[in-house]
Structures are given as structure tokens and as C-alpha cells.
Amino acid sequence: MRPQMATACTLCIGNFKGGVSKTTTAATLAQGLTLAGHRVLLIDCDPQGSLTTLFGILPDSEVAPEDTLLPLFNGDQDDVGYAIRPTYWDGIDLIAAAPVLFGAEFALPARQMNDQAFEFWRVMDLALDNARDAYDFIVIDTPPSLSYVTINALMAADGIVMPLPPSALDFASSAQFWNLFSDLTSTLVRARGGSKRFAFVDVLLTKVETTDASAILVKKWLSAAYADKLLQIEIPKTAAAIAGSAEFGTVYDQLKNAPSARTLKRATDAFDRLVDLIEDQAQMFWSNQTERLGSAQ
Ligand SMILES: Nc1ncnc2c1ncn2[C@@H]1O[C@H](COP(=O)(O)OP(=O)(O)OP(=O)(O)O)[C@@H](O)[C@H]1O
Ligand SMILES: [Mg+2]
């Protein structure tokens, strides 16, 4: 459990490739963490609002601009508190997204142009201070692009989880993610004398089909490329309806209705293991944090 002195562990679920299971992973992991007794804030940073939809909220009709992070990125708010709403799932609060959030892609560069001292990439990080005291985990779902908002999410994170299906094309684009990201941090952060370190970086195999022969080869490449960053957990590809979809919810939602379904059990077992692992990594992050705080006193 999170020590009292420590603050929330913030996770960014990211991959610039679309459809790799970012949103499904964010929602399911958040649920799993609550089942282990944690309080979780989920943040939808994708103007598509898929995570918002997954929680039964319609981005187009039920989310006003002021319910999203747009006012934060516009500079009208400086703490995310205004946008936090409860959800149907005990222990999870949500910051919703809607297509208007795309406005942040104009607002942030405009603010940067007008004020050289402004650091567009730190807006979200700075706005999470109160939330970090109120929650054990903050899980941020990002869009499939290197947007200004995605950069904010990555910079606010203590750890990164990159969902990655074992396919050759997804593997190739995952390399671009890290290249672009390291270019970016060196240009933005180091140029200003800052630094950005992550407590952990995890590559999570998603949508894994046991019968797919090519996946075995790609998994070999992945473990060569990512070494111990590649988690020894595989999220199975489950029947389309079972995977996170607005109609059916996540595997944890479905397990409530069909506790004896074997395929579901396989998927929730994989997520339970992911939760254990994230908890271990968070524990390490928290003990480093309390040590630092202790020695600063
Ligand atoms: N383990 C899984 N098994 C089967 N289908 C899955 C699995 N995980 C996700 N999916 C399905 O794949 C599609 C994409 O998933 P998801 O929306 O989570 O990906 P994403 O990376 O967030 O996509 P985007 O880049 O558009 O935000 C969805 O239809 C989802 O239901
Ligand atoms: Mg998504």
C-alpha cells in the first residue's frame, strides 16, 4: 500500500500506434488496481474519448469542454480537480475527454509562442499535485500520436506502460515511439537544464493469439530489443466482444456477470498478474520517494 508520505504513482499508457489496446489496458488495469485496494484516477487524454465511452459517458453529448482538460491547457485552470468525476466503478474517478480537447493542440503552442518561459510540456505535471495526494495511482490514456497532450502525459508520468501486440508492423512503429520520445526529451528538457527519469518502463504484450505462428518470431525480436523491459505477461486476444468495448465493458466487468467463463478467467488472470507487477514497481517508487523525503528533512 502507498505509504502516507508518498504520492500517487502516475502511469502513462502510450504507443503512437493506433488500436494496440491502450484504452483497454488503461481501463482494465485501473479496475484491477482498485480490486487490490487502491484509489485510482483515470485521465482520458484522447480527443476520441474512447476511455470516457468505456465508462458509459458519451463524449459528444455528455462531456462539456469545461469537463475536459481543455481549460487546463488553455491556461484557465491550473489544477485538474475541476474536471474529476466519479464513475460507476468503485474506487475509480475519471477525467473525461471529448473532441474539443483537440483544441489543446493549438492552445499549447500558441502559449509557448507568446511566452518563451512557458513550458508547454509541464502543464499537466504541475496540475496533478493535489490529485497525487488523493489517489494511489493516476493512469493516463493517450491518443495514438505524438501530440502536445501526449507529451504532457509522458512528462507527468513516473512509469510508462506501452501495450504492444506481437506483430511485425507494431514492433516497427514501437521503435519510432522511443526514438521520437528520446529526441523530444533531449530537445525540450535537457536544453533547459532539466532531466526526466522514469521509475519504470514496461512493454506489455497485448492481443496475443496462441495460434499465431508469426507472433512467436516477433516475440523473439521483442525480447532482444526490449530485454527486461518486456514484461513476462501476455494479455490474450479474447473474443472481440469480450475485449474492452463500450457495450460489453472490460474483462473485469464481464467476470462479474459470468464468473465461470474460462476465456475470461484467462484474461483476468493476466491482468491480475499485471496489477501485481505494477504494485511491485510502485512500491519501489514509493520507497525511493519516502527515502528522498526522509533525507531531505
Ligand atoms: N485483448 C484483446 N483482445 C481482443 N480485442 C482487443 C483486446 N484489447 C483490445 N481489443 C480491441 O481492439 C480495439 C482497439 O483497442 P483499444 O481501443 O483499447 O486500443 P487503443 O490503442 O486505445 O486504440 P486507439 O489508438 O484508437 O486509441 C478495440 O476494438 C478493442 O476492443
Ligand atoms: Mg485508445
- Give the binding-site residues of ligand 1, using a 6 Å CB cut-off: 18-24, 46, 50, 144, 206-207, 235, 237-238, 240, 243-245
pLDDT at 146: 87
Contact 287, 294 (CB under 8 A): no
Lowest mean pLDDT among 76-85, 87-96, 176-185, 275-284: 176-185
Q: Name the closest-CA residue to atom 29, ligand 1.
A: 245
Q: Quote the ligand 2 centre to 94 CA distance (angstroms).
A: 15
Q: Quote the ligand 1 centre to 200 CA distance (angstroms).
A: 23
- CATH code, residues 9-296: 3.40.50.300
Of 194 and 228, the structure prediction assigns the larger pLDDT to 228
pLDDT at 232: 93
**Mean pLDDT taken over the chain:** 91
Q: Quote the ligand 2 centre to 46 CA distance (angstroms).
A: 7
What does the alpha-carbon distance between residue 56 and residue 85 come to, in Å, rounded to a whole number? 13
**pTM for the whole thing?**
0.95
pLDDT beyond 60 at 241: no
Give the whole-number percent of the chain exceeding pLDDT 70. 96
pLDDT at 50: 95
Q: Quote the ligand 1 centre to 86 CA distance (angstroms).
A: 24
pLDDT beyond 90 at 293: no
Q: Which ligand is in closest contact with the Cα of 268?
A: 1
> Going edge to edge, which strands form the sheet with 40-44?
84-86, 92-95, 40-44, 137-141, 9-13, 159-164, 200-208, 230-236
Confidence label for 123 from pLDDT (cuts 50, 70 and 90): very high
pLDDT at 266: 85
pLDDT at 245: 65
pLDDT at 152: 95
Summarize pLDDT for 207-225 with one digit per residue, the tens.
Answer: 998 888 888 888 888 888 8
Give the whole-number percent of the chain exceeding pLDDT 90. 66
What does the alpha-carbon distance between residue 153 and residue 140 come to, in Å, rounded to a whole number? 7
Average pLDDT of 185-202? 82
Summarize pLDDT for 63-110 with one digit per residue, the tens.
Answer: 999 999 999 999 999 999 999 999 999 999 999 999 999 999 999 999
Q: Quote the ligand 1 centre to 23 CA distance (angstroms).
A: 7
Average pLDDT of 161-176? 88
Q: Name the closest-CA residue to atom 16, ligand 1.
A: 21
Pocket residue to mutate for ligand 1, from 21, 162, 238, 263, most atoms within 8 A of Cβ:
21
pLDDT at 172: 85
Domain ranges of the chain: 9-296
Q: Which atom of ligand 1 is nearest to the CA of 24?
A: 18
pLDDT beyond 90 at 177: no
Average pLDDT of 250-268? 82
pLDDT at 36: 96
Average pLDDT of 137-144? 97
Q: How many other CB atoms are found less than 10 A from the CB of residue 261?
A: 17
| Crossing angle of helices 148-156 and 168-188, rounded to 10° | 80
Q: Name the closest-CA residue to atom 5, ligand 1.
A: 243
Name 8's Cβ contacts closer than 8 Å, sequence gap at least 6.
2, 41, 128, 131, 132, 133, 134, 135, 136, 137, 138
